[in-house]
Homo-oligomer: A and B are copies of this chain.
């Protein structure tokens, strides 16, 4: 690409004079100020760098999580927000322990091959010597059921359910497959399995396994659960198809310690006209232990802080109260989201709107909405403001896990929706690092989030 042959002579020409010529209003002026502030003097990218590089992984109950609480609290105080405070919440404290060991043993020829595994969050350990049993592959729960106790008893169940790459939206692929991670161990244990090995949640064929939450049912034996990379899953499956007995060995010494006191971190710009009408914008401060939690969800929390920072910086006095909330424990408990909603209920707070950014720090696509049709219609009136930034799609339902509990109070909920085709290469793996986040993409997300918060603050909902 050398020339710009008639390139992008846009109907949304962005010179300062013609900006938003079509939906001309005083809102346009503020929106241009927001955009310029974040693109020229934005701080979310450098804040994310600090969170990733100086603090790092932040699993609930960990030292990293504690540091992240202290630092974000300090950060928002330094920005001079009207109120900055911690909201106490008890969180689970699961620890991985030393690096897991996984091996595949071909009984016929005696070959032993190491495979990378990682314990799923919440799993029990194997005993210290590890666990060794015949491995049996199933694609899904139907196949598991068909095999039944007779075939499953005493074995390790290998769930090899691949992402359906014909789905366009990455979260749709994830949504289909994730149950084999969250409940695979529990289901396998019903038939007497001794452990479960789940194909990693990604559409990419990589050597890196990804973790994520799993859960048990107290009435069913708790068996160890791990993930195997997609590449190793393909290899193992090919080997199993050749027939012959195959043993899987895993050693994990993860454990669940007693709950720990932690916090949601909350910053606030108090509304000047309707201080009791609260607009909450947030992401989750905790991350998995394997990486820096850059896209998941350092991006979302730093964008949420940026919303308040940029509005304050351009001198905007919000009509309604704006809150940036760094939720704790989205990944393995949702205790922070639950506690936030519980406190809101207790204090009879009136949340008129909440938005979450927890789908990656990628370029904007639009917003998902869970609210009444008339509120959706009101928001859709503002669509043309968002299109120049790439946020065109207002058709989908949804919001975010942390703000989900507010739905019981009838709060209109929204999710920031980025283009996350690249998400599942890095999701819940050691690759979710700061380097994977692009500055402009992160900033574009922060801009459209700030615009939305501004518009709701000004116009109500």
Contact = CB atoms under 8 A, between A and B. Distances in A.
Interface of A: 1-12, 14, 16, 35-36, 39-40, 165-172, 174-175, 178, 203-204, 212-213, 296-297, 330-332, 334, 358-360, 363, 365, 368, 370, 387-390, 392-393, 395-401, 404, 415, 419, 421-422, 425, 427, 438-441, 444
A40 B401 contact: no
A40 B9 contact: no
Contacts of A297: 1
A399 B4 contact: no
Contacts of A3: 334, 401, 404
A260 B212 CA distance: 57
Interface-centre pick from A167, A387, A425 (highest chain B CB count, 10 A)? A167
Given A7-B398, A170-B440, A421-B440, 20 more contacts: A2-B213, A2-B332, A3-B401, A4-B398, A5-B398, A5-B400, A5-B401, A6-B404, A8-B172, A9-B396, A10-B172, A10-B395, A10-B397, A12-B395, A14-B166, A14-B167, A168-B444, A365-B390, A387-B392, A392-B393
A207 to B, nearest CB: 15
B441 A422 contact: yes
Nearest to A3: B401
Nearest to A10: B396
Contacts of A6: 368, 370, 397-399, 404
- Counting chain B CB atoms within 10 Å of each CB, the highest count among A10, A359, A439, A441 belongs to A10
Q: Which of A36, A297, A395 has the most CB of B within 10 A?
A: A395
Closest 9 CB pairs of A and B: A392-B392, A421-B440, A7-B398, A5-B404, A9-B397, A3-B401, A6-B398, A11-B395, A4-B175
Contacts of A404: 3, 5-6
A5 B399 contact: yes
16 contacts: A1-B297, A1-B358, A1-B427, A4-B174, A4-B178, A6-B368, A6-B397, A7-B175, A7-B398, A8-B396, A9-B397, A39-B166, A387-B395, A390-B393, A392-B392, A422-B441
B389 A168 contact: yes
A213 B1 CA distance: 10
A203 B439 CA distance: 10
Nearest to A174: B4
Given A40-B166, A363-B419, A444-B421, A8 B368 contact: yes
Identical copies in the complex: 2
Contacts of A175: 4, 7-8
A6 B396 CA distance: 9
Contacts of A40: 165-166
A227 to B, nearest CB: 14
- The winner among A170, A389, A393 for most chain B CB atoms within 10 A is A393
B7 A368 contact: yes
A224 B212 CA distance: 57
A22 to B, nearest CB: 10
Contact of A2 (B331, B397, B399): B331
A415 B1 contact: no
Contacts of A422: 438, 440-441
A8 B419 contact: no
A407 to B, nearest CB: 8
A400 B39 CA distance: 28
Interface centre among A2, A40, A360, A370 (most CB of B within 10 A): A2
A398 B2 contact: no
Nearest to A364: B419
A171 B368 contact: no
B398 A419 contact: no
Given A40-B166, A204-B439, A392-B392, A2 B401 contact: yes
A171 B4 contact: yes
Nearest to A169: B8
Contacts of A395: 10-12, 387
A178 to B, nearest CB: 7
Contacts of A401: 1-3, 5
A169 B9 CA distance: 11
